[in-house]
Structure 1
Amino acid sequence: MRRLPPLNAIRAFEAAARHLSFTKAANELCVTHGAVSRQVAALESHLGLALFHRSNHQIQLTEEGRALLSEVGPALDRIALSTYALTRKAGRVVLAVNAPPTFTMKWLIPRLSGFQRRHPEVELRLTTGIAAVETMALPELDAVIRRLSGPLPRFSCHEFLRTNLVAVCAPEILETAPIREARDLRHHTLLYASTHPHAWEQWFAAAGLETVAPGGTLMFEEMYFAHQAAVDGLGIALVPEPLAIDDLAAGRLAAPLGAPKVYDPSYFLIVSPHARHRDLLDDFLAWLQEQGIESDKLCEEVLGAVRSGAASTA
């Protein structure tokens, strides 16, 4: 009988070794830093070997770690390719896509039923993450969605959704402390995401608004949490318009400072070199681009009047 190490620990080790970072490995695997650290420690205990040198919050592979990575990396790739081959033989059509969590929850999932009605035979497997595409294990994916300033070298990248940052909050918090201009933020809490720690300073500068010391700040791990905190009345968050537009249209959020044109990186569909269903990916991209156009129209419809009002008072 084969004496195999724990496979979850092998996955955690391979990701951490490839990135030389437990944090980046955790982002890729959609688990916590601590979970990766524990899995690696369990593997080292199982093997009776140190796989990493750890010092000053940095890690480096030991000689044994490098030897293990050279074997398990290709082995995991072969497993991924083999399972895809089996699903194709079974007649199943699987499209595996990785996308940022906030984008997935606030924009993609609410629109996804349209693509599923168009392709009822497709099983769309969605995972979330924010790891750089160049560092990801791509054999198990057909495509990745990321915000980019421009196409990546050596990848097939397709823009489908432009983003403009907008400051949003729950309408009810404006009843007791209205926001008519930037200086009114001294009475409010600004919500930050640790993935964009300087977003507010950059936004004030790009919007041509006076930088103001807020009444308080709250920092969240992901943009999704800051967005939800704004909906729940905890403060004011900076969110890409397309991700906030459904809540703005429904009146769950307001844009008290207007919607100045402060562009952020666009969303791109990045095709994996290992993608199996190119025709289906073309259909998925066409659908994403159609939804992007519709989202732009809704943003202009909902926020156009806000922009006009801000311009007339400027």
Structure 2
Amino acid sequence: MSRSSLPLNAIHAFLVTARHLNLTHAASELCLTQGAVSRKIAALEQWLGLTLFDRHARGLRLTPQGAALLPELRQGFELMEQASEKARRSHTSIRLKAPTCAMRWLVPRLVALEQQRPDLHVALTTTLDHATQLENYDAAIVYGKPHAGGICLFAESLTPVIAADQPCPESPSALAAMTFLHPTGDSRDWQCWLAAQRVTLSMRRNQHFATMDLAISAAIQGFGVAIADSNLVESDIASGRLIKPFAGEVKTGAVYTLLQRPAADAPPFLAELVAWLCRDQKVTQSLLSAGLA
């Protein structure tokens, strides 16, 4: 063996064997045969030019030279493991899937997180499919009924919104003169809100969009009045792009739920991402089996 090549595998075998002082146990941990472990230790002894173990009937005993060498070799291996883990964690992406309609709520939070923690990278994938769950992702935000074992980020709460520079309607009945922006191909969200306000009116002018995000964007541009989830427009209202002309909101029963991989299968930083997304939410564990939603 060349003196220029440090026998790392043999050193690892020595460290494991020194911990057990038993070749059978060391071989089991290393997934090697006893003979293979013995050969690695013999190769290391030859490379070092000294004996590491005394062999006797009851097992192994470290020689004075082996006992003196052990702490420094153990420390060196621990430093290499720590450096490797640090490098691995710094290049790990968390795969997050979320519905397109949640982008207005999610993206500002991801931007703030990566500004604060540049070593934490989230690979975001958007979808129009609300039925799928984790699949091959590390975490997923899903819209619809609560999921057992998931974390409820927020419950959908519908309210009309209009551009801040548009005339503000004085009452819900005044909306009849405006263009209604729908987040779906039908009018169910608007009808849900109007029914909760006990208002009946004719919606003469309508525009339908594929997602709530598109309807909200149209409202910001002054195209009409959109029915939106108040959670999704919080930043638009805070910045003055949108206003809520009425205080009345209606819960639809739908929620945005965060699903995540079990801790044993989770990538580095997943727990931190989950904590960040939940930090300003009144979140509860969705336990449908217990009757909680």
Residue of 274, 277, 290 corresponding to 1:288: 277
Question: SS of 1:151's equivalent?
Answer: coil
Residue number among 106, 109, 115 corresponding to 1:108 in the alignment: 106
AA aligned opposite 2:128: I
Percent sequence identity is 25
User: What's the offset of the Cα at 1:232?
Assistant: 0.6
Tell me, yes or no, if the aligned pair for 2:183 and 2:210 is still in contact at 8 Å. Answer: yes
Give the 3 Å change call, closer, same or farther, for CA 132–267 of structure 1 in structure 2.
closer
- What aligned pairs does 1:205-220 form with structure 2 within 5 A after superposition? 205=195, 207-220=196-209
Kept in 1, the 8 Å contact 2:193–2:250? The answer is: no
8 Å CA contact retained: 1:158, 1:269? yes
Match of 1:150 among 127, 137, 146: 146
Q: Which residue of 1 aligns with 2:217?
A: 228
User: Residue 242 of structure 1: SS of its match in structure 2?
Assistant: coil
Pair 1:265–1:131, CA change in 2 (3 A): same
Between the aligned partners of 2:279 and 2:110, the Cα distance in structure 1 is 12
The offset of 1:282, in angstroms, is 2.1
- Displacement of 1:92 in angstroms is 2.2
Q: What is the one-letter code of the residue matched to 1:221? A: A
1:130 paired with 2:128, answer yes
Using the TM superposition, give the Cα deviation of residue 147 of structure 1 relative to its aligned residue in structure 2, in angstroms. 2.0
State the shift of 1:189 in Å. Answer: 0.8
Pair 1:239 & 2:228 matched: yes
Q: CA deviation at 1:103?
A: 1.3
Q: What's the CA shift for 1:293?
A: 5.2
Return the index of the structure with the highest Cα Rg: 2
Q: Tell me the CA shift for residue 271 of structure 1.
A: 1.9
1:128-173 CA-to-partner distances (Å, cap 9, x unmatched) read: 013244x46812x111101233114xxx411122332110011333
- Work out the CA distance in 1 between the residues paired with 2:150 and 2:202: 39
2:235 aligned partner, one-letter code: D
SS in 1 for 2:272: helix
Counterpart Cα distance in 2 of 1:150 and 1:137? 15
Shift of 1:261: 4.2
Corresponding letter in the other structure for 1:194: T
Residues 116 and 246 of structure 1, relative CA distance in 2, 3 Å threshold: same
Please name the residue that 2:171 is paired with: 181
For the structure 1 residues 226 and 125, does the alpha-carbon distance in structure 2 shift closer, same or farther, using more than 3 Å as the test?
Answer: same
* Selected match of 1:202 from 177, 192, 195: 192
SS in 1 for 2:279: helix
Give me the whole-angstrom Cα distance separating, in 1, the residues matched to 2:182 and 2:169.
Answer: 19
The answer to whether the 8 A contact 2:186-2:208 is kept is no
Q: Distance in 1 between matches of 2:99 and 2:139?
A: 12
For 1:293 and 1:247, the matched residues in 2 are separated by: 21
Encode CA deviations 1:245-304: one digit per residue, 9 max, x unaligned. Answer: 11112221111122334355221111247984266322211111113359xxxxxxxxxx
Residue type of the partner of 2:118? Answer: P
Between stretches 284-293 and 241-250, larger displacement belongs to 284-293
C-alpha contact 2:193 2:249 (8 A) present in aligned 1: no
Deviation at 1:224, TM superposition (A): 1.2
CA distance in 1, matches of 2:154, 2:263: 24
Structure 2 residues not aligned, in runs of 5+: 1-86, 284-293
Larger proportion of helix: 1
Aligned equivalents of 2:126 and 2:154: distance in 1?
18
How many Å separate the matches in 2 of 1:224 and 1:210?
Answer: 25
Given the two structures, how large is their TM-score scaled by the length of structure 1? 0.56
Task: Name the counterpart of 1:160.
Answer: 153
Pair 1:196–1:246, CA change in 2 (3 A): farther
Report the 3-state secondary structure (helix = DSSP H, G, I; strand = E; otherwise coil) of the residue aligned with 1:243.
Answer: coil
Distance 1:136 1:148, change over 3 A: closer
The residue type paired with residue 235 of structure 1 is: G
Aligned match of 1:171: 164
What is the CA deviation profile of residues 193-223 of structure 1, one whole-angstrom value per residue up to 9, with x for unaligned ones? 2266411111211x23312112410011111
* Shift in Å, 1:114: 3.0
RMSD of aligned alpha carbons: 2.8
SS at match of 1:169: strand
